[in-house]
Structures are given as C-alpha cells and as structure tokens.
C-alpha cells in the first residue's frame, strides 16, 4: 500500500465557509485525493475520527473559549504541521469583533452569554494560541492557495514527486 498524507480538518468559531468549500472541492478532486490522502479527522464527512499521527492539520476558525484553546493545543501536539484556514483563523475576524466591546458596551444580555457559556474574555486568532506553519486566508479560503498548500505537503512528505 502506498503511503498517504494523513490529514485532519478542524473547525472552531466561524461560519464554516471554508469547510463547505473544501467539501465542494471533493467533487472535483476526490478520485485523486483518495489515493494520496488519508482523511483521519474530518467531522463534516465521517463519524470515526482520530487525532493520532496527523501529518497536517487544517484548522478553520478563531479560538473563543478555554475548551477550544485546550482542543487546539491537542491538535498541535498530534500534528507535524498546522495550517490556519480562513479569515477567522488567520486574523481572528470577523469572529473577534466582540473584542472591540468596552465594558460600557456589554449589556446585561451580552454579559449573560459570557456568564452562562464557555467563552473567553477575548477571541483569539490561531497563532495567538499555537504555532502555525502556514496560512490560507480568505472568507472563504482561497481555493487555489488551499490546493497549492495541499500539493506542497504532498511533496514534502514524498507522496508525490517534485517533478
């Protein structure tokens, strides 16, 4: 059996437009990718997922809670490379817009959410929590940059040749 690139796709606080675009890319690339890539973690498409032994973790979304911080650190520990995907992961925005609130802007209704849910004081872009090896910006992600980034890792792990 040929070696495959072991990939995980993760989503945090965002609109998940890059996940939607990624699943749309499968329409055109699935036959090729299934020979080259093992999607070990991809909740949008499968129920049995594992973090273990990831070559590359593609992470979409900003980090907005202590639980998400813990989870993304776990992903980092289990992945050789991490790629921030989409505007929220790369810049924090638009998810981090709430960071602009000052105390006088936080109404009782907004404070109720902070008090009753697992929210951090600030929403963080991915590289404020973990080391990020590559970025794919855009909202949704730029599909051409995604495809070239995936190709870069297929070459790096010698799944495909540089020729």
Task: Report pLDDT for 116.
Answer: 78
- What the block records as the tokens of 72 is 């993304």
Three-state DSSP state, 46? coil
Across the chain, mean pLDDT equals: 92
CB atoms closer than 10 angstroms to residue 139: 16
Give this prediction's pTM: 0.92
Task: Report pLDDT for 1.
Answer: 56
pLDDT tens-digit map of 67-123: 999 999 999 999 999 999 999 999 999 888 887 876 766 777 777 777 778 788 899
Q: Which residues contact 7 (CB under 8 A, 6 or more apart)?
A: 37, 38, 39, 40, 41, 42, 54, 55, 56, 57, 58
Q: Structural domains in the chain? A: 5-156 (3.40.50.700)
Q: Judging by DSSP bridges, how do beta strands 54-60 and 79-85 pair with one another? A: parallel
Across 25-51, average pLDDT: 95
Across 22-43, average pLDDT: 95
Task: Report pLDDT for 115.
Answer: 79
Task: Report pLDDT for 95.
Answer: 86
Residue 46 has pLDDT above 90, yes or no: yes
User: Contact at 8 Å (CB) between 3 and 51?
Assistant: no
């Amino acid at each position: 059996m040929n070696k495959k690139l072991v990939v995980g796709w993760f989503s945090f606080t965002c609109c998940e437009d890059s996940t939607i675009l990624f699943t749309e890319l499968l329409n055109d690339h699935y036959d090729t990718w299934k020979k080259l890539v093992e999607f070990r973690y991809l909740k949008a498409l499968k129920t049995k997922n594992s973090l273990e032994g990831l070559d590359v973790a593609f992470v979409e979304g900003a980090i907005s809670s202590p639980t998400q911080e813990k989870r993304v650190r776990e992903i980092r520990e289990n992945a050789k490379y991490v790629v921030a995907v989409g505007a929220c992961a790369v810049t924090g925005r638009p998810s981090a817009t709430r960071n602009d609130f000052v105390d006088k802007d936080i109404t009782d209704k907004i404070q109720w959410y902070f008090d009753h849910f697992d929210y951090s004081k600030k929403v963080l872009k991915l590289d404020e929590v973990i080391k990020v090896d590559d970025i794919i910006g855009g909202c949704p992600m730029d599909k051409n940059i995604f495809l070239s980034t995936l190709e870069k890792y297929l070459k790096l792990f010698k799944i495909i040749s540089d020729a």
